[in-house]
Structure 1
Amino acid sequence: MPVGIEAWITQIPPITRGWLVLSVLTSLAVQCQLVTPLQLYFSPKSAFINAQPWRAFTNFFYFGSISLDFVFHLFFFMRYSRMLEESSFANRKADYFWLLLLSSIMLLSLSPLFNLPFLSSSLAFVPIYLWSRRHPDTPISLFGLFTITAPYLPIALVAFSWVLSGTWRAAAGDLAGCLVGHIGWFLRDVWAREMNGGTSVLSDSPVVLLVLLFLVF
Structure 2
Amino acid sequence: MAQRGLAAEFWQVPAVTRAYTAACVLTTAAVQLELISPFQLYFNPDLIFRKFQVTGQAPPGYRYCRMLEEGSFRGRTADFVFMFLFGGVLMTLFGLLASLFFLGQAFTIMLVYVWSRRNPDLRMNFFGLLNFQAPFLPWVLMAFSLLLGNSVLVDLLGIAVGHIYYFLEDVFPNQPGGKKLLLTPSFLKLIFDAPEDDPNYRPLPEEQPGMDPMDRQQ
TM-score class, shorter-chain normalisation, is 0.7 to 0.9
Match of 1:97 among 81, 90, 95: 81
Deviations 1:105-163 (A, max 9, x none): 00110112322212111111112101111111110111222211011000001111232
Q: Secondary structure at the match of 1:199?
A: coil
Please show how residues 35-46 of structure 1 align to structure 2 within 5 Å: 35-46=36-47
CA distance in 1, matches of 2:127, 2:80: 28
Higher helix proportion: 1
Paired letter, 1:207: S
Paired letter, 1:167: N
What is the match of residue 8 of structure 1? Answer: 9
Change in Cα spacing, 1:4 to 1:162, as seen in structure 2 (3 Å) is farther
**What is the Cα deviation at residue 167 of structure 1?**
2.3
Change in Cα spacing, 1:149 to 1:62, as seen in structure 2 (3 Å) is closer
What is the match of residue 209 of structure 1? Answer: 188
Contact 1:81 1:127 in 2 (8 A): yes
Change in Cα spacing, 1:209 to 1:137, as seen in structure 2 (3 Å) is same
CA distance in 2, matches of 1:187, 1:197: 10
Larger radius of gyration, structure 1 or 2? 2
What is the match of residue 170 of structure 2? Answer: 189
Match of 1:199 among 180, 187, 191: 180
CA distance in 2, matches of 1:185, 1:206: 18
CA distance in 2, matches of 1:185, 1:214: 22
Paired letter, 2:126: L
**Which TM-score applies when normalising by structure 1?**
0.83
What is the match of residue 203 of structure 2? Answer: none
**What is the Cα deviation at residue 195 of structure 1?**
5.2
Paired letter, 1:177: G
Paired letter, 2:22: V
Change in Cα spacing, 1:123 to 1:7, as seen in structure 2 (3 Å) is same
Unmatched runs of 5 consecutive residues or more in structure 2 = 195-218
Contact 1:114 1:173 in 2 (8 A): no
Q: Secondary structure at the match of 1:91?
A: coil
CA distance in 1, matches of 2:177, 2:112: 25
**Identity percentage over the alignment?**
37
Give RMSD over aligned pairs. 1.7
Please show how residues 46-125 of structure 1 align to structure 2 within 5 Å: 46-48=47-49, 50-55=50-55, 59=56, 61-63=57-59, 74=60, 77-125=61-109
Unmatched runs of 5 consecutive residues or more in structure 1 = 64-73
**Which TM-score applies when normalising by structure 2?**
0.82
